[in-house]
Amino acid sequence: MNEQPIGLLGATSLVGECLLQKLTQEHRHIIAFSRHPVIQSHPQITWQQLNTIHLEKVNAEKNKIPTWLCVAPIWVLPEYFDLLLAYGAHRIVVLSSTSRFTKNTSSERNEREIALQLIKGEELVQTWATTHAIEWIILRPTLIYGHGRDKNVAEIIQFIRRFGFFPVLGSAKGLRQPIHVEDVALACFSALGTLNSANRSYNITGGETLSYRAMVKHIFAALGRTPRILTVPLWLFQIATWGLRWLPRYQHWTAAMAERMNEDLVFDDSDARRDLNFFPRSFKLTSEDLPSQNE
């Protein structure tokens, strides 16, 4: 086992769980941090509850954690800058999102605020890391899916299961590059160890570019169903999303989501492929990517 531990913030998130699996496979020792107590036993994972750590008692030499992965929302990371310094952080890989570009002009205020949080979060990380001579890499994935627990493809699956069809705006021709959560974790792991790359950001995408309508058809196929795609006008989407918000599962659905169905949300990931040796899979759903029927 590699003696140098890796610090992991956001360990209980979907990407975090994939990272734990990858890191243990690589025989790494992980110090996993969580807001809440975690009862899990693994010889390579040491769990730490964040609100029980007294920074003044942390000995940076004795408890040194030089490399860190942060897959919690980037806007919460500044809360842990002192913790990272206390443990002697030297290099950090942080997860952001391409939503910083795609939602900053959204018609929905909440989505614009998310984009602003991402932008400010990236700026704070870069300024702080530069000030303290800490190497940083920011990764911005596109639409994440996988393991039936994402808030993108899994939501479409649950809608189709419940209603038997899926609504789209117009031709739904906007291009997408869905990326599997395991590929996001692989990119994080690669960025951590690619020591000749530091102090820069990468957009990371899935291995296939397809239209929103084609993506929905793929989802129907994965469910073993004939595609039933209903084209509806924007005004009907606005009414429907207002009604759906009364259901907890659809509280975050907005008319802006429909508007983006005809916008190309594509990014160049050639730098990540070159520097991080990153070659993600095409968009293909397996049984493991489908949410449980009783969810």
CATH of the domain at 278: 3.40.50.720
The answer as to whether 295 is a domain residue is: no
Cα–Cα distance, 248 to 224 (Å, whole number):
27
Cα–Cα distance, 26 to 28 (Å, whole number):
6
Question: Quick check: 78 pLDDT over 80?
Answer: yes
Q: What is the pLDDT of residues 159-175, one digit of tens each?
A: 999 999 999 988 999 99
Q: pLDDT at position 239, please?
A: 81
Cα–Cα distance, 214 to 233 (Å, whole number):
19
The answer as to whether 242 is a domain residue is: yes
Range of the domain at 218: 2-289
Report the number of distinct structural domains present in the chain. Answer: 1
Q: pLDDT at position 271, please?
A: 97
Distances (CA, A) of 95 to 138, 202, 290: 6, 10, 24
Stated pTM of the model = 0.93
The answer as to whether 151 is a domain residue is: yes
Q: What is the pLDDT of residues 21-61, one digit of tens each?
A: 999 999 999 999 988 877 777 899 999 888 878 786 776 66
Query: In terms of Cα–Cα distance, which of 281, 5, 259 is closest to 145?
Result: 281
Q: What is the pLDDT of residues 92-137, one digit of tens each?
A: 999 999 999 999 998 888 899 999 999 999 999 999 999 999 999 9
